[in-house]
Each structure stands twice: as structure tokens, then as C-alpha cells.
A and B are shown apart, each in its own frame.
Chain A
Amino acid sequence: QAQLVESGGGLVKPGGSLRLSCAASGFTFSDYYMSWIRQAPGKGLEWVSYISGSSSYTNYADSVKGRVTISRDNAKNSLYLQMNSLRAEDTAVYYCTRALGYCSGGSCYPDSWGQGTLVTVSS
């Protein structure tokens, strides 16, 4: 059974930086695309970024492009999200998710989710 545990959230001032981490277990991490999805307080779900198993492919939502970098360390079974130039609208719970399906063909979906880590951007 896949387990995902996020960490690294917290309170940060506008313009600041934060690095989120996700520790994966229970599956062969390097075989899967991984993704970050966020949820602002009381709002719906918004995809943020994905990365392929070998790190060859990454992509970002327009709302974070240029400010966020996704990466992974397959030797450590870990996923990361480096967030810079943070804004108030980045305040959200950030979920680490595993993607299942034919990701390289453009049709896969998040099947396992971590419990989330809260990022609050406020002065």
C-alpha cells in the first residue's frame, strides 16, 4: 500500500521561499510519475506540478510557473517542491500524489494522496 508523507509547510512572508518534501513508501517510487496538488482554505483542488519517474519530464501550472521547481530523489524515495517568491494566493494545503495510468501518453490520475502540508503566506 502506497504511503506518502509531506513535510516542510509553515508560515512564510510574501516574497519568501519554502521547500516541501514528500517521503514515499510501499511502492517502487522510481516507476511512477508524481505530482503536487494544492487546496486553498475552503476551496477546491488545483494541480500544481508533475514530474516523471526519471525526472526527464516536468510541468507546471501557469499560476506557479517560474516560481516553483519540482524535483525528486529516487535513491531517497522523496519528492520535493521548491517554492520561491511566494504570494498570499499560494496559501493552501499541498498534497503529494502518485499518478497511475498511462502518464507518458497523457492520461493518468492521482490514486494515492498524502495527508497534506499547510503553507501559509502572510505578513
Chain B
Amino acid sequence: EIVMTQSPATLSVSSGERATLSCRASQSVSSNLAWYQQKPGQAPRLLIYGASTRATGIPARFSGSGSETEFTLTISSLQSEDFAVYYCHQYNNWPPWTFGQGTKVEIK
């Protein structure tokens, strides 16, 4: 099973600032990596797939990069609606699908 490790666990950022979230895979997942955003009481929402492709309707301030074992989600200028928990997810090898433990982006 591929283990996904996200860092940091919590990121405190001011509105308008840049946020950089990291995700590491225990073995190569090629570019088969997705990012999801989850707000309290809501289902996760797909942001990025293929490590760097934005899903339909996702604003350009969200960008993904990386390959193999190291990945990054960048939010270029945080808006109030971006404060949430973000999960990375590898789908290179299923079963099982595996997810990171999440990074909470909170208001500084």
C-alpha cells in the first residue's frame, strides 16, 4: 500500500498570501495524484488531477505540481473561501486508493 504524507498538518496564512502544501508518496505514483478541498460539513471537492490539471470550475489561483513522489499544491492568493482542509490522493495503484492525512489551512 502506498502511504501518502502531507505537510504541514496545519498552515496559518493571511488572506491574500500564498499557501504552499506538500504531499509525499512512499513510492512513485507517476503523475496520478489528485487534490481535494473539504470544508466543514461538506463532501470533498476535486481541485486537481493528473498532479497539475485543474478540475472544471476551479479558479486559476489553485495550481499543482510535482511527479513521482513529491507534489505541491499552491494557492497563489488566499481568499476567505479557501480556508479548509486539503487532501492529496494517489490513484496510480488501486486497490487501495490512499489519501494523505490532510492539511488544514486556517486564518492567521
Contacts and interface: CB of A to CB of B under 8 A. Distances in A.
Interface residues of B, number: 24
B32 A107 contact: yes
Which of B32, B42, B43, B98 gathers most chain A CB within 10 Å? B43
A37 to B, nearest CB: 8
Interface in B72-108: 87, 89, 91-102
A23 to B, nearest CB: 15
A50 B95 CA distance: 9
Contacts of B97: 35, 37, 47, 109-110
B49 to A, nearest CB: 6
B91 to A, nearest CB: 4
A113 B98 CA distance: 16
A82 interface: no
Interface in B11-45: 32, 34, 36, 42-45
B99 A114 contact: no
B3 interface: no
Interface in A76-123: 95, 100-101, 106-116
A37 B46 CA distance: 14
Contacts of A60: 95
A61 interface: yes
Nearest to A58: B95
Contacts of A107: 32, 91-92, 94
Contact of A111 (B42, B55, B87, B95): B55
Contact of B89 (A109, A115, A116): A109
B86 to A, nearest CB: 11
Contacts of B96: 47, 61-62
A84 to B, nearest CB: 20
A108 B45 contact: no
Contacts of B34: 109-110
A45 B45 CA distance: 13
Interface of A: 35, 37, 44-47, 50, 59-62, 95, 100-101, 106-116
